[in-house]
């Protein structure tokens, strides 16, 4: 029986309001969408019941442990709309069996476009995690598990001890996804790879009645896990909203997870591990390298960046937002900088995705907009307004004649 590593991602973006051309230069709030309503709905269905269940399972099963990653924009909305969520996470961290992972504060794609901005956002995230949870992360997970050799190079410079990412067959070359690897960098870092089939059996297929393995039972799932050797790690990485939001309570998802932890814990040789524990015990001498020259992610069947940068709409917006970096930072206006960084959140570009087939269905499900074109319309108008603000701030002050 291999060990199991659970990691759950907590993230909610700031969604754009119905901003139009008549709002230009009117100081209208960009993020006046249904953020509070959505956050409270997801909190009621997912965050509260699942965090409560996790705390109960930790109390009942001394060997149970896992990792959480909370984006900065998730933390901001928790503090504003549902502070009880932060209190529950604080209780979990205080048990000593919950690891908090490092990431970009704004759940951004900065690692692909600006090394400086990436570093600033990671440090900003680390500061808020230290302040709220009295915890200093040692392992990094990038937005949407985006990874490449260049991303590893940036993370290594920031002093982290390991990275989580996706297991992509075109770079594994037939090797096991249940083993740890090394980054292909001058100073290699250990990498833990997501087991996509077993993770997605819970996250995406659990309630799919057309899935040949439906219904997924605990006994069946444990058998699938048990096929791996003792020295392997089954890394189950998924969105926290899997529990209660993507898979509703009436599917039995909470009961499934609770029973799985109970049954897995009954066997003394079974083991849970956190990412930090795993990377700290690895002997790097015997690890193969995971060479990833082109970025990968955990999104869609392609496991690449096409969810965010595939079409002209996405490329137009993302290039413009990062072109503004020197102008925004020169102004040094906290409110303006925060608006610019919220617009970097990867969800904004995800909503513009025009991929079809099953991937397109997933994108449509997660988007608050009627279409990718509507997502682009709102974003581009907001971006135009932001540029107007920046231009005004950067105009030289005219001297007043005495």
Residues designated catalytic = 144
Q: How far apart are CA 313 and CA 303, in angstroms?
A: 20
233 and 67 in contact (C-beta within 8 Å)?
no
3-state SS assignment for residue 69: strand
What is the CB neighbour count within 10 angstroms for residue 389? 18
**DSSP code string of 223-241:** HHHHTS-TT-EEEEEEEGG
- The per-residue b/e assignment along 226-260, b for 16 or more CB within 10 angstroms, e otherwise, is eebeeebbbbbbbbbbbbbbbbeeebbbbebbbbb
Q: How far apart are CA 350 and CA 302, in angstroms?
A: 15
The 8-class DSSP code of residue 249 comes to G
Phi, psi at residue 66, to the nearest 5°? -165, 180
Q: What Cα–Cα distance (Å) separates residue 356 from each residue in 97, 304, 305, 306, 360?
A: 41, 15, 15, 12, 4
Place of tokens 């897995």: 264
Phi, psi at residue 296, to the nearest 5°? -120, 170
3-state SS assignment for residue 175: coil
Q: How far apart are CA 115 and CA 71, in angstroms?
A: 19
290 and 181 in contact (C-beta within 8 Å)?
yes
Phi, psi at residue 234, to the nearest 5°? -90, 110
Q: How far apart are CA 105 and CA 118, in angstroms?
A: 9
Place of tokens 């969810």: 307
Name 350's Cβ contacts closer than 8 Å, sequence gap at least 6: 307, 308, 363, 366, 367
């Amino acid at each position: 029986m291999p060990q199991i590593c659970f990691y759950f991602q907590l993230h909610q973006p700031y969604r754009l309001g119905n901003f139009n051309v008549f709002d230009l230069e009117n100081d209208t709030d960009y993020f006046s969408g249904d953020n509070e309503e959505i956050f409270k709905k997801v909190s009621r269905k997912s965050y509260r019941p699942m965090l409560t269940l996790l705390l109960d399972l930790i109390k009942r099963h001394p060997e149970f442990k896992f990792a959480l990653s909370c984006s900065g924009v998730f933390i901001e909305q928790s503090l504003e709309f549902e502070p009880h969520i932060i209190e529950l996470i604080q209780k979990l961290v205080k048990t000593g069996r919950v690891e908090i992972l490092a990431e970009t504060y704004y759940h951004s794609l900065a690692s692909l476009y600006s090394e400086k901005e990436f570093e600033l956002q990671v440090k900003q995230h680390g500061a808020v995690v230290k302040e709220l949870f009295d915890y200093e992360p040692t392992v990094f997970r990038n937005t949407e598990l985006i990874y490449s050799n260049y991303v590893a190079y940036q993370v290594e410079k920031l002093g982290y001890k390991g990275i989580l990412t996706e297991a992509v067959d075109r770079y594994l070359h037939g090797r096991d996804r249940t083993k740890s690897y090394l980054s292909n960098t001058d100073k290699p870092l250990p990498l833990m790879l997501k087991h996509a089939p077993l993770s997605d059996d819970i996250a995406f297929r659990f309630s799919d009645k057309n899935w040949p393995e439906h219904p997924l039972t605990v006994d069946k799932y444990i058998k699938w896990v048990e096929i791996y050797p003792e020295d392997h790690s089954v890394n189950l990485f998924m969105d926290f909203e899997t529990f209660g939001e993507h898979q509703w309570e009436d599917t039995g998802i909470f009961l499934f997870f609770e029973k799985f932890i109970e049954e897995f814990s009954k066997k003394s040789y079974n083991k849970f591990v956190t990412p930090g524990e795993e990377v700290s015990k690895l002997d790097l001498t015997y690890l193969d390298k995971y060479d990833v020259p082109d970025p990968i992610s955990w999104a869609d069947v392609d496991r690449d960046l096409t969810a965010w940068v595939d079409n002209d709409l996405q490329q137009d917006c993302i290039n413009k937002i990062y072109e503004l970096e020197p102008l925004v930072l020169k102004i040094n206006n906290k409110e303006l900088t925060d608006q610019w960084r919220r617009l970097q959140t990867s969800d904004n570009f995800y909503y513009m995705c025009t991929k079809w087939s099953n991937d397109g269905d997933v994108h449509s499900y997660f988007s608050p907009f009627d279409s990718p074109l509507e997502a682009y319309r709102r974003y581009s108008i907001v971006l135009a307004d932001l540029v107007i603000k920046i231009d005004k701030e950067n105009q030289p002050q005219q001297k007043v004649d005495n």
